[in-house]
Amino acid sequence: MPQVKVFITRRLPIELEQLRSLATVEVWPERQPPTYEILLKKVKEIDGLLCLLTDQIDRQLIESGKLKVISQMAVGYDNIDIRAATAQQIPVGHTPGVLTDATADFTWALLMASARRVVEADRFTRAGLWQTWEPDLLLGPNVTGATLGIVGFGRIGQAMPTAGCTYARRAKGFEMRILYTSRQRCQPELEQSLGVEFATLEHVLQESDFVTLHTPSADDTYHLISDRQFELMKRSAILINTARGTIVDPDSLYRALASGQIAGAAVDQGEPEPIPTDSLLLTLDNLIIAPHIGSASRQTRSKMATMAIANLIAGLTGDRLADCVNPEIYNS
Ligand code: DGY
């Protein structure tokens, strides 16, 4: 039995032979994540941890063990105290790039479903309310030719506008006008080739028929969309969030949707997550809520798991992680 030990916090959709030839592997078998107390106990016994965004990897946990690597199966890593890991010289891996298209596809599914009221239509039909063709039944806005506002144009945590391009290309197929706002403006050549216009957040909110959020979860994006931002939006506008729940103030979202301040929203995230079953948000017909499945295509999840295992193995064998959140540890 290899002496090196790793803990994987959930079953993964790939085989683990290569990892098993290098390490003793324990996989958490439950559907629910291990509790923080269990993680705290495990971390004292292992060399490598493969975790998910549902695992709280904070300073106390990081300082409790002697981890050689933390490998997250997600592109986002707001559940991990990166500073604490860096202070301990522990490389943190993540899985950028491979889920950009799947997440953009799902964003588009939410945008279309919300605009054309697909979920409401299904509920209406199942409730036996479909009695005839009606000229004004379940009307929604046009998607073709509308204005799309993209908030956050880069790949999470990086300046590369990969994600923004992915959304812009989809929007182009629907002949949309595309506004974007981002910490960093793209090169003019890229703006031109994608047909996108840079604007302030305020302008994006005021002008757009659909606003889609793609910023990372960070101190400066916490509740980026609150009452004031909803007030700036058109009453006919639809908000899509497939980024992180913390970007939208849930109370403001409820008020905006319940009062008709905006027409609709579709979110793949919540704050907290999962959304509590007694949340008022669940009473709204003009809100679609999905359980954080943006990247959930079979191929994508398998690629994410493969990347996470590769990062884990690299960390265990002392190699540089291909996708490292804190590469500065290699300089010191
Ligand atoms: C991520 O990777 O950060 C997504 O939220 C889950 O795929």
What share of the chain in percent tops pLDDT 90? 94
pLDDT at residue 158 greater than cutoff 60? no
**What stretches of the chain show up as alpha helix (H) in DSSP?**
17-22, 36-43, 59-64, 82-87, 100-115, 118-126, 162-173, 188-194, 201-207, 227-232, 250-258, 298-316
Domain locations along the chain: 5-98+298-331, 100-289
Using a 6 Å cutoff on CB, does residue 290 contact ligand 1? no
Give, to the nearest 10 degrees, the angle between helix 298-316 and helix 100-115: 150
Give nearest CA residue, ligand 1 atom 4: 74
Helix (H, G, I), strand (E, B) or coil at 55: coil
pLDDT of residue 155: 67
Contact criterion met (CB below 8 Å) for 156 and 97: no
Return the pLDDT at 163: 82
The pLDDT of 96-117, averaged and rounded, is: 96
- The tokens describing 84, both together, are 């604490």
What is the pTM for the complete model shown? 0.95
* C-alpha radius of gyration, the chain, whole number: 22
pLDDT at 157: 47
**124-148 confidence digits (pLDDT tens):** 999 999 999 999 999 999 999 999 9
Are 307 and 14 in contact by the 8 Å Cβ rule? The answer is no
CATH homologous superfamily of 100-289 equals: NAD(P)-binding Rossmann-like Domain (3.40.50.720)
Evaluate: CB of 289 within 6 angstroms of ligand 1: no
Q: Do domains 5-98+298-331 and 100-289 have the same CATH topology?
A: yes
N-term to C-term CA, the chain: 33
Q: Length of the chain, please?
A: 332
- Are 63 and 85 in contact by the 8 Å Cβ rule? The answer is no
Best residue among 50, 53, 292 to mutate for probing ligand 1, ranked by most atoms within 8 Å of CB:
53
3-state secondary structure of 276: coil
**Which helix H or strand E contains 110, and what residues bound it?**
helix 100-115
**Distance between CA atoms of residues 295 and 94, nearest Å:** 14
Q: Supply the pLDDT for residue 91.
A: 98
Domain 5-98+298-331 in this protein, CATH class: alpha beta
Q: What is the pLDDT of residues 254-310, one digit of tens each?
A: 999 999 999 999 999 999 999 999 999 999 999 999 999 999 999 999 999 999 999
What's residue 11's pLDDT?
Answer: 98
pLDDT digits (tens, 9 = 90+) for 265-280: 999 999 999 999 999 9
Closest C-alpha among 218, 217, 224 to residue 202: 224
What is the rounded average pLDDT of the residues 167-196? 94
Kindly give the pairing relationship between strand 210-213 and strand 147-151: parallel
Ligand 1 centroid to residue 94 C-alpha, Å: 10
Instruction: Answer whether 51 contacts ligand 1 (Cβ < 6 A).
Output: no
Indicate the DSSP class of residue 197: E
**Block residue for tokens 């919300």:** 114
Q: Strand locations in 105-262, DSSP E?
A: 147-151, 177-181, 196-198, 210-213, 238-241
C-alpha of residue 267 to centroid of ligand 1, in Å: 14
Answer whether 74 contacts ligand 1 (Cβ < 6 A). yes
pLDDT at 162 (0 to 100): 79
Q: If you search the block for the tokens 């945590």, which residue do you land on?
A: 157
For the question of residue 273 being annotated catalytic, the response is: yes
